Structure 1
Amino acid sequence: MKLELTPAQRHIELARPWVLLALYVGLALAGWWWLAVPLAAVVCLAAFVMMHDAMHNSLGLKKPTNERVLTLAGLLILKSGHGLQVTHLRHHGRCLTEADPEGAPATWSFSRVLWQGPWHTLMLRRESLRIAPNTRRIQLIETGLTLALLGAFVALYWATGSAVGLVYWGVAFVMSATMPIWASYVPHHVSSRNPAARTAAALAQAWTPITASFAFHHLHHHYPRVPTALLYRAAIEFPPPPEEEHHHH
């Protein structure tokens, strides 16, 4: 059983974050911040989906291309894509056990996720270097590139007074700090029978991978090689996985 992106779908998946980023830059330069700021958050989510599909090699790309996409998608949310891949694949292998640092927030109280979340995101960087020392070089390069981007945003502001880069970084920082909530706690606590998840599942059929990643989280754990954008089809065509497998009670 396989679901794969058509070439046209693959182009859409690969282009989406960059098209949204260009729109953000255009709106920000025009001074339409009320539209640009929420759009920056959407860019981060789109980049997250692309990075996540690259982690699972489900975009149908050759390995060197997939590795580059993983790096670039990670940079869009100011992260090491390879670093996150290490802890994410560990999460799939040992879901919500002691040896699953990424999934830890799913086992916490919500208040703890709120105050400890930002530190948790930083801690995952350290964990990924510890778990996979063989990918240390690329992880450190990606971390260096992230810092270089931040330096470029500051320089842009000093040189031109334009906050386009700094505002984007601010939004990416907030998305990153809250990642344990929207990428770990919520998906593992919301049953697919929940009305919010059912609404997201209905929306996902309109080709919105962002809602698909939330609506079909349990399905993704069972069929990790299905691209996020096609999870709604997997929900219809594949045998349903046991509901309680990846939920914390």
Structure 2
Amino acid sequence: MNHLELIKKVEWKDLKALSVKEMLIENNISLPWLFISIFLAYKGYYGWAIPFSGFYFLTALRQVHNGFHHSLGTGKFLTWLSLYLNSILMMVSIHAVKFNHIRHHKFCLSEEDYEGKSASMKWYQAILYGPEHIFLIHWITFKHANKNYKRNMVLELASMAVVMSIILYFQIHFLMYHLLMMILGEFLMVFFAVWTVHHDTHENPNIARTQRGFWKNKLTFSMFYHMEHHLFPAVPTIKLPELARRIDKVLPELDKKQTF
């Protein structure tokens, strides 16, 4: 059964809508982790700040990922603003990431899918590939994207450069820590966000890996329901657990490869 046949068997369109509470969660889920990590770093507790920085990066990735698919429940400008601000905070042009991610869905694991390139690598190769991946997604956006994507990428990169220059010039150590953690997160993103969910799935790329287990999905903020996301990219992350239950009920025979 291919992914188009799967889509027809599962009710999902009602999951696209967000309540006010769900919209507030999806648009602000990263802020507590950001504030806690920055506060601990400001106080000099860098070791304690590290896990909170990690959770900020993960939840910010969830937030912008929903923005890529217009699933934040907000209008066009607020979605753009979310992507722009998180570019500065995460130290990468999020519009460049978006351009490559949309191509990833369209050309999943083919030669045109630059985001998914690491899926065919060994796990350690995917980790080492991280810095090259960050450069590549910006270069591919510059080469292939339309003027709107390019304009947003240049704006985000320029804003990042200004913020970074201020932080380094004034030697703001707790913010230097944040920059370092975000750059490290970007280098590891290709392993955690691409390789883990797509390796060994080339025979049917749209049936990506997924994750079951209450605590595993709580600790990863539902970001590893990746099969569900590829089948129904318009469904917001907060609704993916319900979507997974529907898929399991309607298609219990579906072979689901676990992420971890």
* TM-score bin (small chain): 0.7 to 0.9
2:85 to 72, 79, 84: 72
Which blocks of at least 5 consecutive residues in structure 1 are unaligned?
none
Distance (whole Å) between structure 1 residues aligned to residue 190 and residue 243 of structure 2: 26
Distance (whole Å) between structure 1 residues aligned to residue 195 and residue 185 of structure 2: 14
Distance (whole Å) between structure 2 residues aligned to residue 130 and residue 25 of structure 1: 36
**Are 1:87 and 1:128, in contact at CA under 8 Å, matched by a contact in 2?**
yes
Which blocks of at least 5 consecutive residues in structure 2 are unaligned?
1-12, 202-206
Deviation at 1:26, TM superposition (A): 1.5
Give the TM-score normalised by structure 1: 0.86
Deviation at 1:116, TM superposition (A): 2.1
Alignment of 1:45-124 (within 5 A): 45-124=58-137
Higher mean alpha-carbon deviation, 233-242 vs 44-53, is at: 233-242
SS at match of 2:211: helix
Q: String of CA shifts for 1:170-213, please: whole Å, max 9, x gaps.
A: 1111110111100110011388999x9323xx13675x6x4411
SS at match of 2:29: helix
One-letter identity of the residue aligned with 1:171: M
Percent identity reads 24
2:162 to 148, 167, 179: 148
- Counterpart of 1:213? 223
Higher relative contact order (CA 8 A, sep 6+): 2
Distance (whole Å) between structure 2 residues aligned to residue 217 and residue 189 of structure 1: 12
Alignment of 1:1-249 (within 5 A): 1-3=13-15, 4-134=17-147, 135-157=149-171, 162-189=172-199, 197-199=211-213, 202-203=214-215, 206=218, 210-214=220-224, 216-238=225-247, 239=250
**Are 2:100 and 2:114, in contact at CA under 8 Å, matched by a contact in 1?**
yes
CA change 1:18–1:204 in 2 (3 A) is same
**Displaced runs of 4 or more, over 4 A:** 190-194, 238-247
CA change 1:71–1:45 in 2 (3 A) is same
CA change 1:74–1:204 in 2 (3 A) is farther
CA change 1:230–1:27 in 2 (3 A) is same
Deviation at 1:126, TM superposition (A): 0.5
**Are 1:222 and 1:241, in contact at CA under 8 Å, matched by a contact in 2?**
no
**Are 1:51 and 1:74, in contact at CA under 8 Å, matched by a contact in 2?**
no
One-letter identity of the residue aligned with 1:189: H
CA change 1:164–1:244 in 2 (3 A) is same
Distance (whole Å) between structure 1 residues aligned to residue 251 and residue 236 of structure 2: 17
Give the TM-score normalised by structure 2: 0.82
Deviation at 1:221, TM superposition (A): 0.2
CA change 1:169–1:241 in 2 (3 A) is farther
Deviation at 1:241, TM superposition (A): 10
CA change 1:244–1:124 in 2 (3 A) is farther
For these two proteins, the number of residue pairs brought into alignment is 237
By percentage of residues, which structure has more helix? 1
Q: CA RMSD in A?
A: 2.7
